Amino acid sequence: MARKVIDEPGEEVVANARMARESKRGPFARLSLFFRQVIAELRKVVTPTRKELLSYTGVVLVFVVIMMAIVSAFDWVFALAVTYMFGTP
């Protein structure tokens, strides 16, 4: 199972953000800070194992099939109702 990571920004990222906010840096410095923060967040990402990935995929496929069945049933019921109200096409 994937390890759990607390979603808190690192001290370095917070310090850099405060410094950037206080000093009103230029656009390139703000862009640089943004990319550093993006990279810091991407380091927190945990890649699922193959078993977890297959499990998640199965759950998504089952959910999609169930939702398709529900939407199809509603479509069929509404088609019956319209046909009953307005007659045969």
* Per-residue pLDDT tens digits for 22-38: 566 788 888 888 899 99
- Alpha carbon separation from 65 to 51, 61, 70 (Å, rounded): 21, 6, 9
User: Quick one: average pLDDT of 63-75?
Assistant: 98
Higher pLDDT, 63 or 19: 63
The tokens 């019956």 sit on which residue? 80
Please provide the size of the chain in residues: 89
CB 46 within 8 A of CB 7: no
Higher pLDDT, 37 or 4: 37
Please tell me the pTM assigned to this model: 0.53
- Between CA 60 and CA 30 the distance in angstroms is 39
The pLDDT value given to residue 16: 74
